[in-house]
C-alpha cells in the first residue's frame, strides 16, 4: 500500500518508511513561538537547565498578538520573549521593526518550506501545510522540548482525502471551500487526522486561497492540512527566494502515491458553491449566502484581516468592492494587513487610500481583534462580519456579541450595506 503526503514527510524525517498510527521521534525544521505562548516555553526551557537552543536557526519568535503592547501586562509578557531572543542572539526574531502575523510572515520570509515538519504554540500553525509541509499546533511545553532537543514525538495521523472539483464562481474563495468542508463534517469531523486536498479545483486556487484553507483545518479538529506542490507553489517559492536572497533550506517535495490509503474521501463540487457564511457560535454552522441574505442582519462591525484572510489578495478584493463608495453610517470597518510588507504593497497599489476614503480604519499587523485582545473589541449584542477563523462565544469581545465568518468580498459588501449581503448582487 502506498503513502500519503503526510506519511512521506515523516518517512523522510524518520529515515524509514512509516505509516499512520506509528509514533516517531523526528527533528523539527521550524519551531514557531509568539508573544503570548513563548514565555511559558522559555520558563520550561530555563527550568530544565538548558543553556542553549539545540537548533537555533530552526526556532523563531514572532511578536504578533499584542504588539505594540496594549497595556502593562502585555508589555511585560513581550519583554520575556525579547530578553530571551537578545540573550540567545536569535537569527529569526521578528518584532515591531519587521512585524507580521506569524502564519503570514514566515511563508513571506521563505522560512517554512515543502517537506518541513513544523510546530508552533498556536493552533493555526497548520496554515503552512499549503506549501506541502507537515505543520501543526502544539502546547508551549511541547515547544520547549523542541527548543531543548531539536525534535519531538509525533503520532502520524490518518489522512482524509478531500477531492475538490470545478472552477470557483464569482466571489468564491478558499474561505468558502474550507467553511463548506467544516459545515459538512463538523468541528470534530477530522479529529487528529491529516486532510489532503486534491482535485482539479486546485489549479484555480492561488496561494492565498490555499493558506486560508489550510489555516482552518484545525476548526474541523484536524492535526494538519496539506496541498501537493505544483506550479503555483513553485512560483511562490521562487518569488520568496528572489525577495529574501534565498530560502531557509532546500525544499523536499513529496506526492501521495496513487494507491495511498485514506481513512475517508470527501468530495466537494466547488463549481456550484456559493459564498458560505458561518453563523455563531461555531465555524461549522455554515449557511449559503442566499439563505444568509434573507435574514437581513444588521452589522455593527466588519473586520478584514487575520492569519486567515489578511493577505494582499483580500485587500484587493475589498478595495475593489468599496471603491468610490462609503461604509454604512452605523457600521465600523477595520482592515488589518497580515504583514508590514502586505501593508506597503497595498499602499503602493492605492488600496489603502481606497479603503480609508471609504471609511475603513487600518491597523498594524496584529492578531488583536481576532482573538478579542484589542484593536476591534465587540460590545454587548454587537454583530461582526469577520474574515477570521473562529466565531465562538465571546471570541472578539462581549459574550453576547456575534461573529459571522465570511470571505473578504462578503465582508466588504456588508460594510457598505450595513447588513449581511451577497457581494454578487
DSSP-derived secondary structure letter, 281:
T
Q: Would you call the peptide bond into 68 cis, given omega within 30 degrees of 0 as the criterion?
A: yes
Instruction: Provide the 3-class DSSP secondary structure of residue 348.
Output: helix
Q: Quote the CA–CA distance of 343 and 341 in Å, as a whole number.
A: 5
CA distance 205 to 388: 19
| Cβ neighbours of 122 (radius 10 Å) | 27
**Rounded Cα gap, residues 313 and 318, in angstroms:** 9
Q: How many CB atoms lie within 10 A of CB 250?
A: 9
What are the backbone angles phi and psi of residue 135, rounded to the nearest 5°? -140, 130
Rounded to whole angstroms, how far apart are CA atoms 389 and 32?
19
> Residue 359 region, left (φ>0) first, then alpha (ψ -120 to 50), else beta?
left
- State the Rg of the chain over Cα: 21
How remote is the C-alpha of 311 from its chain's centroid? 10
Task: Identify which of 277, 358, 353, 351 has the alpha carbon closest to the alpha carbon of residue 310.
Answer: 351
Residue 336: strand, helix, or coil: strand
Within a 10 A sphere around the Cβ of 397, how many other Cβ atoms? 19
Q: DSSP character for 335?
A: E
Q: Is 384 annotated as a binding residue?
A: no
Crossing angle of helices 312-322 and 408-417, rounded to 10°: 30
Contacts by residues 247-252 (CB-CB < 8 Å, ≥ 24 positions apart): 247/110, 247/113, 248/30, 248/57, 248/110, 248/111, 248/112, 248/113, 249/29, 249/113, 250/113, 251/113, 251/114, 251/115, 251/132, 252/9, 252/12, 252/113, 252/114, 252/115, 252/116
Point out which residues pair with 419 in neighbouring strands. 298
What SS3 state is found at 136? strand
Q: Is 367 known to sit in a ligand binding site?
A: yes
Q: Does 263 belong to an annotated binding site?
A: no
Binding residue positions for [4Fe-4S] cluster: 307, 367, 370
* Annotated binding-site residue numbers: 307, 367, 370
Amino acid at each position: 500500500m502506498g503513502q500519503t503526503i503526510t506519511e512521506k514527510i515523516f518517512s523522510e524525517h524518520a529515515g524509514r518508511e512509516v505509516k499512520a498510527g506509528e509514533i516517531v521521534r523526528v527533528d523539527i525544521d521550524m519551531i514557531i513561538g509568539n508573544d503570548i505562548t513563548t514565555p511559558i516555553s522559555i520558563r520550561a526551557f530555563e527550568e530544565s537547565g538548558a543553556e542553549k537552543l539545540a537548533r537555533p536557526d530552526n526556532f523563531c519568535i514572532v511578536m504578533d498578538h499584542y504588539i505594540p503592547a496594549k497595556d502593562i501586562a502585555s508589555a511585560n509578557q513581550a519583554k520575556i520573549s525579547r530578553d530571551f531572543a537578545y540573550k540567545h542572539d536569535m537569527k529569526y526574531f521578528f518584532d515591531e521593526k519587521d512585524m507580521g502575523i506569524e502564519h503570514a510572515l514566515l511563508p513571506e520570509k521563505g522560512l517554512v518550506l515543502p517537506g518541513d515538519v513544523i510546530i508552533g504554540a498556536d493552533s493555526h500553525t497548520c496554515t503552512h501545510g499549503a506549501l506541502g509541509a507537515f505543520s501543526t499546533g502544539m502546547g508551549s511545553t511541547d515547544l520547549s522540548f523542541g527548543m531543548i532537543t531539536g525534535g519531538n514525538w509525533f503520532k502520524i495521523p490518518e489522512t482524509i482525502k478531500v477531492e475538490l472539483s470545478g472552477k470557483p464562481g464569482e466571489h468564491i474563495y478558499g474561505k468558502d471551500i474550507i467553511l463548506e468542508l467544516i459545515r459538512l463534517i463538523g468541528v470534530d469531523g477530522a479529529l487528529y487526522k491529516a486532510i489532503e486536498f486534491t482535485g482539479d479545483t486546485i489549479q484555480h486556487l492561488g496561494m492565498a486561497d490555499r493558506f486560508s484553507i489550510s489555516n482552518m483545518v484545525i476548526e474541523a479538529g484536524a492535526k494538519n492540512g496539506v496541498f501537493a506542490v505544483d506550479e503555483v507553489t513553485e512560483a511562490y517559492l521562487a518569488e520568496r527566494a528572489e525577495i529574501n536572497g534565498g530560502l531557509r533550506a532546500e525544499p523536499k517535495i513529496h506526492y501521495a502515491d496513487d494507491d495511498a490509503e485514506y481513512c475517508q474521501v470527501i468530495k466537494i463540487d466547488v463549481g456550484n458553491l456559493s459564498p458560505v457564511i458561518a453563523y455563531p457560535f461555531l465555524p461549522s454552522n455554515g449557511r449559503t449566502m442566499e439563505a444568509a441574505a434573507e435574514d437581513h442582519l444588521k452589522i455593527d462591525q466588519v473586520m478584514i484581516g487575520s492569519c486567515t484572510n489578511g493577505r494582499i489578495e483580500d485587500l484587493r478584493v475589498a478595495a475593489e468592492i468599496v471603491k468610490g463608495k462609503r461604509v454604512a453610517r452605523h457600521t465600523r470597518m477595520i482592515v488589518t494587513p497580515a504583514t508590514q510588507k502586505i501593508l506597503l504593497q497595498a499602499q503602493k497599489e492605492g488600496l489603502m487610500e481606497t479603503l480609508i476614503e471609504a471609511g475603513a480604519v487600518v491597523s498594524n499587523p496584529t492578531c488583536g481583534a481576532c482573538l478579542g485582545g484589542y484593536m476591534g473589541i465587540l460590545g454587548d449584542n454587537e454583530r461582526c462580519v469577520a474574515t477570521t477563523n473562529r466565531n465562538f462565544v465571546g471570541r472578539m469581545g462581549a459574550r453576547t456579541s456575534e461573529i459571522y465568518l465570511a470571505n473578504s468580498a462578503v465582508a466588504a459588501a456588508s460594510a457598505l450595506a450595513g447588513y449581511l449581503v451577497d457581494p454578487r448582487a
